[in-house]
Amino acid sequence: MLESNFSFELITQDGNARLGKINTPKGFIETPVFMPVGTQGTVKGIFPEDIKKTGTQIILGNTYHLLLRPGIEVLNKFNGLHGFMNWNKPILTDSGGYQIMSLSKLNKIDLKLGAIFKSHLDGKKIILSPEKSIQVQKSINSDIIMVLDECPKLTSDKKILSKAIEVSTHWAKRSKIEFGYNKKKALFGIAQGGLYKDLRIESIEKLKEIDFDGFAMGGLAVGEKQSEMFKILNETTHHLPKNKPRYLMGVGTPSDILGAVNEGIDMFDCVMPTRSGRTGLAFTWNGKINLKNSKYANDMTPLDNECDIKQLNKYSKSYLNHLIKSNEMMASMLISLHNIHFYQQFMREIRKNIKNGTFLSFHKKYINLFN
């Protein structure tokens, strides 16, 4: 029987790699876990029922985009995003902090007011305060809610990064107050600090004082080298509470995920599987395959002999190459579904190898395959 409250159990470790289990009222989540991104209430080009068949345990929604469209009034009528998109498993929502960075030409940061946006849809002025972000995520009925943070672009300027920590910590305190007491949902804090060990640790320690149900590493996967990301994770992840889930936001390729699991990270999200699928790039156990390449025009073998979702094992690389060249939407649908299936298969193998104590050999075999 499922626990009614949010909780996390660390089951075992193999080196720094952690095998765990998150309990939520909408189901449990085995970690390490990959969360497909459903920015606007859909994982692009894939039916929710097919997402479930891949073994996906939780998806990610976007506070900023859902606030703008369809809006809170519509979501409230459906009792949140689950009812709106017909998804009965857990949902995590980001707070809008990443959009503060990615839409920086359209916004400014105010410590008291929050992020001040102009909507990319109609130019309407929007003030997203820490409190408003939590309120929107409650209307989305998210199972895991993220605090509003300031996520700076890649920079070596310590003043900019220190200011982001100051703002993010202040907003984290306000987010915690607005979240209140709700043991059926979780609130995660987000650490900043760029690639500086001292700033990362400072941010983590301040968040630990506030206390959250889980902790995220933000401000990575913003253009730094993979080796730089792994280095800062190695230097700082062990400062996060051992008994809480650890989330690396916006990551990444299978190699990124594998390397971060090796540093003690539990949760991941990225648009990579579907964005790559829309460009004809597939992830396989033999590495990446660009199905646009003419060498696949006569290849009669499937991408994955074992995948029977939508009978994907029936479609040849030749056929997929034809669909891409013909600009048929089914190409992106099939390859995106394949990629999500591969990512979830990859995560299952990671979990199995941690459980069996063979993670390091698995890591060595695949860490460079997808770079």
pLDDT in tens, 268-316: 999 999 999 999 999 999 999 999 999 999 999 999 888 888 889 999 9
What is the per-residue pLDDT for 302?
94
Mean predicted confidence (pLDDT) in 353-364: 98
Is the residue at 289 inside a domain? Answer: no
Angular region, 303: left φ>0, alpha ψ -120 to 50, beta rest = alpha
Compare 43 and 106 and report the one with higher pLDDT.
43
The beta-strand segments (E) located in 133-191 are: 144-146, 186-191
CA distances 131 to 147, 161, 172, 186, 335, Å, are 9, 23, 10, 16, 39
Burial label, 201 (beta-carbon count in 10 A; 0-12, 13-18, 19+): middle
Is the residue at 296 inside a domain? Answer: no
User: Which residue in 81, 90, 169, 183 sits closest to 130, CA to CA?
Assistant: 169
d(CA 98, CA 176): 19
Q: 269 catalytic, yes or no?
A: yes
Is the residue at 227 inside a domain? Answer: yes
Burial label, 120 (beta-carbon count in 10 A; 0-12, 13-18, 19+): middle
Mean pLDDT over each residue of the chain, to the nearest integer: 94
What is the per-residue pLDDT for 119?
82
Give the CATH number, domain containing residue 51.
Answer: 3.20.20.105
Is the residue at 331 inside a domain? Answer: no
Q: The pTM is what?
A: 0.96
What is the per-residue pLDDT for 124?
86
Instruction: With a cut of 70, say whether residue 100 has pLDDT above it.
Output: no
What is the per-residue pLDDT for 103?
64
What is the per-residue pLDDT for 1?
40
Is the residue at 3 inside a domain? Answer: no
Is the residue at 111 inside a domain? Answer: yes
pLDDT in tens, 227-237: 999 999 999 99
d(CA 135, CA 214): 19
Q: What does DSSP say about strands 33-36 and 267-270: parallel, antiparallel, or unpaired? A: parallel
Instruction: With a cut of 90, say whether residue 149 has pLDDT above it.
Output: yes
pLDDT in tens, 54-70: 999 999 999 999 999 99
Instruction: With a cut of 50, say whether residue 2 has pLDDT above it.
Output: no
Q: pLDDT band for position 182 (50/70/90)?
A: very high
User: Which residue in 286, 230, 283, 235 sits closest to 261, CA to CA?
Assistant: 230
Instruction: With a cut of 80, say whether residue 366 has pLDDT above it.
Output: yes
Tokens read off for 193: 């600090």
Rounding to the nearest 10 degrees, give the CA dihedral for residues 357, 360, 361, 366: 130
Mean predicted confidence (pLDDT) in 332-358: 98
d(CA 249, CA 255): 15
Q: pLDDT band for position 33 (50/70/90)?
A: very high
What is the per-residue pLDDT for 241?
98
Domain count, the chain: 1
**Sole residue written with tokens 């506070």:** 63
Compare 59 and 116 and report the one with higher pLDDT.
59
Cis peptide before 32 (omega within 30 of 0): yes
What is the per-residue pLDDT for 123?
83
SS3 5: coil
CA distances 16 to 12, 48, 50, 105, 257, Å, are 10, 33, 33, 40, 14
Instruction: With a cut of 80, say whether residue 130 has pLDDT above it.
Output: yes
What is the per-residue pLDDT for 105?
61
Q: Which of 14, 143, 256, 269 is catalytic?
A: 269
What is the per-residue pLDDT for 106?
59
d(CA 371, CA 367): 8
Q: 94 catalytic, yes or no?
A: yes
Q: pLDDT band for position 24 (50/70/90)?
A: very high
Burial label, 79 (beta-carbon count in 10 A; 0-12, 13-18, 19+): exposed
Is the residue at 352 inside a domain? Answer: yes
Q: Which of 14, 50, 94, 149 is catalytic?
A: 94
Q: Could you list the residue range(s) of the whole structural domain that residue 67 is in?
A: 8-276+338-366
Q: What is the sign of the dihedral through the CA atoms of 172, 173, 179 and 182?
A: positive
SS3 316: strand
Is the residue at 180 inside a domain? Answer: yes
What is the Cα gyration radius of the chain?
Answer: 20
